Amino acid sequence: MSKIKSLQLNNFKFFRQSDPIILNGKHLLLYGENGSGKSSIFWGLYTLLEAAYKQPNEVKSYFNSSDISLVNIFANKQTAPGTGIEHYDSYVTIETDNGKTFKASLLDTTICGNNDAKESRKAMDFLNYQSLFAFQHFKNSENVDLSDVFDYYILPYVTFTPIRVNGKEISNAGEMWKEYQNGPIKVGGNIKKNNKNEFQRFESHFRNEFQRLIDFINQNSYDIIKELGYDIHFTLSYTLPSSYIGYKVYDYHKYKIILTIDSYNGKSISINRPQTFLNEAKLTALALSIRLCVLKYRTNTLAADALQVLVLDDIMISLDMSNREMLSELLLKNGGYADKYQLLFFTHDRNLFQFIDRRIGQLNNKSNWKEIGIYIGKDSHGIEYPVIVDEEADSYSKAQKFKDAFDYETASIYIRKTLEQILKNLLPPEILKSDPDTFVSLQSMWDKFKQIYSPDANIINLFKNSKLLILNPSAHLLSKPIYKRELDRAFKLVDELKKISSKYKEIVLIEKGAKVQFKTTSTPQYLCSFNLDVAMCADRETKQVANEPRCSNIYFEYDGKQYYDPNTGQSDINHPLKTATPKLSRFVKGLSQNPFNITENDFLDNAKVNGISLREYLDGHSLTI
């Protein structure tokens, strides 16, 4: 099994001249706002691996000025040295972690027929909302015949036992189906007896291999759909393709694959039109179970070093929270698909991105993931292009990215965050809060900073001249030239402040008396609240927590029962936690016990202080010293 080390789209669809996206074999969680180029990555990878099964002229048509061209419309035409071929330097390429490179462009079609690329395409799957919706896009009056779905999404990527027909040996199921549709070879307009006999052997072989695939789905789909939270048994009924072979005439009837439901929540039934009985979430689960079954069937015949990647583009967008949790567990849990494939998860929904990020923390290892955001930027001529931002980068780096993309509004938000953090690092802990429940304003922090550090006139003027931008980043009624000058001053201000050494050893991560509130999103629900008896501080240089506060005024309930006692399953008005003051880390560790089963990552993501997650407060620090 191999994974993607890097991928690059150049002058392809929304992407213009661009740097590679470096994954180094990690999974990818990608947020892309609408129109930012997220789907360009999805279709770029798809186009690249599909090219392995296409002819060179077909691939070239994607990278020239044909009607099906995928070249970015702003790409400049250039001439290749030596050959004189005109092109747009448009290409898609990936490098794998085992040293292989796949590339498709007008000038490079060596991927066509490449066996390594073919094996990798068989091992990969591309799932988006449209491909799953195809399983349910039927009228209420129609039976669900999945033959067209199999034609487009399944057969081209399945390997059957090889057989010779019409002068060539083939093993790809999609190619076999094309041969079946074409019929036996004619010689002088006639079908010779030996060609007819060979074709009939092929027909029997194709039917039997197809039946094996259908049987595999019927036998294995229930295990998958059960993991998605549903007790639904269904059957794919396969009607064999049939043919007529005459002396001069060949005709055929297409196969059918009819989906029926045999059992629902333990009750035997016979539903011939599932789209009239099941909601969209259940139909999506059926579609996923079939696609994942086929993927399992395909990987049984793979080369050991094939590129195994699962590309998922907004497949959860129509699912509610409980269905999202089930599907994310199937993908991310120990022994799940994240262990067998490199997952590339795309979404345009920021809430869904944050949900998956949280589930990764609960079910997987975040160090195995790369998280990026894609936003719409504009160059100096107003032409849009993707801005790729590392979600784990610091605020200053993000501000610079958006400034370079002429997105001054977003850049101002991040440079403001950077300025706030710098001032917090420079000020003593005791004056960072005006009271236990209220943050000091940026202006107040600036006034304190001037009193303590007596900055020179240059720094004071930089703050003054960028004040409107920094203190009120939503007020963007200024013209862009003036606005850019203010933004430049804000960056210069940050650069100057970075040169100042703090006079104080410790920084406050969480203030004394802060109220921590936490609740789960699952049922039965657990919720709690408590106050911290002292401020949690960290060393500014080593970034280590210098002390650990205790929890006081603890309140909690589980399944609606206040101060729940696991031994009795009831409320306990004399519960010891009502008066106890455990250390924060000890309290959190207790949540991992039955029946709560709350991980530290879940607590960090969902515990709030002043509406902000505890993880953001800790800023990478541990709960313990």
Q: Per-residue pLDDT averaged across 304-333, rounded?
A: 88
Same domain, residue pair 163 and 277: yes
Residue 474, pLDDT score: 46
**600, pLDDT greater than 50:** yes
Q: Does residue 435 register a pLDDT over 50? A: no
CA distance 415 to 411: 6
**DSSP string over 63-78:** SSSSTT--B-TTPPPE
Least reliable range by pLDDT among 96-100, 201-205, 613-617? 613-617
Q: For residue 165, count other CB atoms closer than 10 A to its CB.
A: 22
Question: Does the residue 468 lie in any domain?
Answer: yes
- Is residue 116 in some structural domain? yes
Residue 301 is predicted with a pLDDT of 64
Say whether both 372 and 487 belong to one domain: no
119 and 131 fall within a common domain = no
193 and 116 housed in the same domain: no
> Does residue 437 carry a pLDDT above 50?
no
Residue 624 falls inside a structural domain:
no
Structural domain contains residue 623: no
Residue 481 vs residue 201, higher pLDDT: 201
pLDDT digits 0-9 by tens, 366-384: 889 999 999 888 887 888 8
Q: DSSP per residue over 303-348, as a string? A: -TT-B-EEEEESTTTT--HHHHHHHHHHHHSTTSHHHHSEEEEEES
In the structure, what pLDDT confidence band is assigned to residue 479 with cuts at 50, 70 and 90? Answer: very low
Please tell me whether residues 162 and 282 are part of one structural domain. Answer: yes
Q: What are phi and psi of 344, to 5 degrees?
A: -115, 105
Are 139 and 207 contained in the same domain? yes
pLDDT of residue 467: 64
Residue 608 forms part of a structural domain: yes
The answer to whether residue 475 scores a pLDDT higher than 50 is no
Domain of residue 349, residue span:
1-124+311-390
Do 137 and 257 have their domain in common? yes
Q: How confident is the model at residue 483 (pLDDT cuts 50, 70, 90)?
A: low
**What is d(CA 494, CA 371) in angstroms, rounded to the nearest whole number?**
26
Residue 12's CB is within 10 A of a number of other CB atoms, namely: 29
Query: In this structure, which amino acid lies at residue 506?
Result: E
Structural domain contains residue 476: yes
- Structure-model confidence comparison of residues 413 and 571, the more confident one: 571
pLDDT in tens, 503-518: 877 777 888 889 999 9
- Percentage of the chain beyond pLDDT 70 is 94
Please tell me whether residues 7 and 116 are part of one structural domain. Answer: yes
Query: Are residues 83 and 179 both part of a single domain?
Result: no
Of 271, 306, 341, the one marking the end of a domain is: 306
Q: What is the pLDDT of residue 482?
A: 47
- Is the domain of 544 the same as that of 531? yes
Both 467 and 484 in one domain: the answer is: yes
| 543 CB-contact burial (10 Å; exposed 0-12 / middle 13-18 / buried 19+) | exposed
φ, ψ of residue 174 to 5 degrees: the values are -65, -40
Crossing angle of helices 480-497/457-465, nearest 10°?
Answer: 140
Q: Tell me, yes or no, whether 625 lies in a domain.
A: no
Chosen domain end from 504, 528, 550: 504
E strands present in 511-559: 515-519, 526-532, 536-539, 551-558
CATH number of the domain bearing residue 417: 1.20.120
Task: Give the whole-angstrom CA distance, residue 320 versus residue 314.
Answer: 13
pLDDT attached to residue 425: 81
Q: What is the pLDDT of residues 179-198, one digit of tens each?
A: 999 999 988 889 899 999 99
- Contact in structure between 391 and 28 (CB atoms under 8 Å): no
> Is 526 within the bounds of a domain?
yes
Residues 144 and 284 in one domain: yes
Mean pLDDT of 98-126: 91
The number of distinct structural domains making up the chain is 4
Note the pLDDT tens digit of each residue in 439-468.
567 888 898 899 999 999 999 988 887 765
Domain boundary among 477, 504, 531: 504
